[in-house]
Amino acid sequence: MKRKIDKQLDQSTEEKIKAAAYKLFTQKGYAGTRTRDIAEESGINLALLNYYFRSKEKLFDLIMADNMKQFMFGIFAITNDEKTSYEEKFTLIVNAYIDMLTIQPDMPIFVLSEIRYDPSGLIEKMQLDSTIMNSHMIKQLKQASDSGEIEEINPIHILMNILGLTIFPFIGSPLLKKIGGMEDAQFTAMMQERKKLIPAWIKEIIKKK
């Protein structure tokens, strides 16, 4: 007889498959991942993959949705928080991404690759436009701009800057490590430095001169 606690100790078969699929899809993309590899990685039988998830594509859709949620959730929650200043939001966004991507460095390139190649228009189904462009942060920036506190600048530029400065180093990390002659530990240390540097840079950039 299984006791309740077993559920936490050993993963269910379904969870094992999902975990393996998550790892492989994120690493090698949809086309580069074979269902046989997922089965082997999770230590289960190939037939069980179809038993639980019907098809490779259905399994992928689940993983992709998970990834997208993780990739976007932080920024949704942070930009809409009415209790923080826009400066604090910069710091919160940068910290959230750096902490997440330090653990999962493959995620952004996976998400952005699959969105880009996607033949089925995955991105069309999401309502991203309203959610971020109507966020509390955008209102704060508009107000700061109107009062002459910061430069007049398209908020999309600011978003590009925050995400570019924060996410790009992870996307380019193999190249950047090679160029800088860095080990993983050094790279991680640099990204920790950037938690302080990036918010300061962004403020500097938008400040009225």
Partner DNA sequence: GTCTATATACGGATAGAC
Partner DNA sequence: GTCTATCCGTATATAGAC
Kindly list the residues in this chain that would bind DNA in the complex (CB under 7 A): 13-14, 33-36, 44-48, 50-51, 54-57
- Cβ distance to a second copy smaller for residue 12 or 113: 113
Q: How is residue 207 annotated by DSSP?
A: B
Minimum distance from residue 60 beta carbon to a second copy (Å): 13
Q: How is residue 134 annotated by DSSP?
A: T
CA distances from 200 to 15, 151, 178, 197 (A): 41, 15, 27, 5
CA dist 18 and 39 (Å) reads 10
51 contacts which partner out of DNA, a second copy, none, CB within 5 to 8 A by kind?
A: DNA
Q: CA nearest 76: which of 136, 124, 121, 123? A: 136
Q: State yes or no: residue 179 binds a second copy (CB under 8 A).
A: yes
Could you tell me the two tokens for 158? Answer: 């600011």
Q: State yes or no: residue 19 binds a second copy (CB under 8 A).
A: no
47 contacts which partner out of DNA, a second copy, none, CB within 5 to 8 A by kind?
A: DNA
Minimum distance from residue 199 beta carbon to a second copy (Å): 12
Q: What is the Cβ-side half-sphere exposure of residue 128, based on CA atoms within 13 angstroms?
A: 12
44 contacts which partner out of a second copy, DNA, none, CB within 5 to 8 A by kind?
A: DNA
Kindly determine how many residues on this chain lie close enough to bind a second copy according to the rule CB under 8 A: 49
CA dist 7 and 9 (Å) reads 6
Minimum distance from residue 177 beta carbon to DNA (Å): 29
User: Between the CA atoms of 86, 90, 92 and 96, what dihedral angle is there, to the nearest 10 degrees?
Assistant: 150
Q: State yes or no: residue 27 binds a second copy (CB under 8 A).
A: yes
Minimum distance from residue 152 beta carbon to a second copy (Å): 12
